[in-house]
Amino acid sequence: MKDLLEVLCDKYLINLGLITDLYPFEREILYPVCTTVFCAADTEFELDKFTDSLALIKANPQMLSSFRSTMRPLIASWLSVSDDPRGEMEKYLSCYELLKKYFKNSEHLALLSPLLVRIVSEDKTEEYIQRGRNLYDRMKKEHRILTTKEDIAFAVMLAFSDKSDDELVEDMEQSYRILKKSADNNSIQTVSHVLAMASGTPEEKCAKFSELYSNMLKKGRKYGKHYELAMLAALTIADFSSSDILSDITDVEAFLLKHKAFSDLSEFGKSEPVCHTFMLLTTAYADDTSVGDESKRRALLAARQAALYSVMVYSMMTVPPVVPRG
């Protein structure tokens, strides 16, 4: 894993540099999100492909109206690493239409559609969405006030689990009760959704999550309690001890921060290096065949997509755009 992380970190710095030099984004949080797209695809950012993909989005009225401007760089990144960008876009739109069949239309469905397309075949998509709708209804019944349209993505990702609906709901409820004093209720509900995707008892999973978070705080660093917690929960699904995960987090942060170019390239990197680190690690763990069996890797991949969704929702709702320097 150490060698894999070092290679991934090198690719990350290269792509981060290319993006910031060639096509600066309006929101800083998009840098770690989009950079990992190119790392995961084992390719480098190419301006021509990226701008062609943006043009493809803008030329399609449905894409233009459905995907708000803050999301388009991420969508364009995914399209530009595809061998068939136009065909890929049609898959997003097709999935989006299926989601609207089961859920009330919102920008959250537009964001969920490409995340879902990337982990499920077209012939199975509706099956997972339909199960996701059932799970969402169960979640809404348990936590009517806390469960909002933002939770639709987590319900659909939970549909990939081998557990029954009853087992998933009970798992989420137990994890929520155990962790509810750790952060605000909405953040802990999100963590409980991600942990439910993993095997093991709620007690074991919550203990691992709490140990990892506590040990990170002991490093003297202040970590956020919003999208960061969802990404941290996704990391705990891997078949590594909390000490091993913490070691990887420390190594990646140290690698990035020792390169002056990293902080120069991204203002967000200076204030939020943990986001870059979590993005890198969830990518590495999801792609590592030694992480566990097929069921665990599927859970980790679904959890990674759910955590990525959490970051993008945070970006859409709270992160201000970059103000051009005069």
Task: Confirm whether 326 is domain-assigned.
Answer: no
Q: Which amino acid is at 175?
A: S
Residue 208 lies in a domain: yes
- CA–CA distance, 307 with 237 (Å, rounded to integer): 12
* Domain membership flag for residue 149: yes
Q: For residue 322, is it within any domain?
A: no
Give the model's confidence band at 273: pLDDT under 50 very low, under 70 low, under 90 confident, else very high: low
In a domain, 233, yes or no: yes
**DSSP 8-state code for residue 53:** H
Domain assignment present for residue 70? The answer is: yes
What is the tally of structural domains in the chain? 1
How far does the chain reach from its first CA to its final CA, in angstroms?
A: 44
pLDDT, average across residues 20-42: 86
**Predicted local confidence at residue 127, as pLDDT:** 96
Which backbone phi and psi does 199 adopt, to 5 degrees? -80, 175
Q: Say if 324 falls within a structural domain.
A: no
Q: In the prediction, which pLDDT does 326 show?
A: 33
Residue 53 belongs to domain spanning: 2-317
- Helix 185-196 with 294-317: angle, nearest 10 deg: 160
Taking only the tens place, the pLDDT of each residue in 202-261 is 999 999 999 988 888 887 666 667 777 888 888 888 888 888 998 998 888 888 878 765
What's the pLDDT tens digit per position in 126-156?
999 999 999 999 988 888 767 878 889 889 9
* Beta strand spans in the chain (E): none
Residue 276 domain-assigned (yes or no): yes
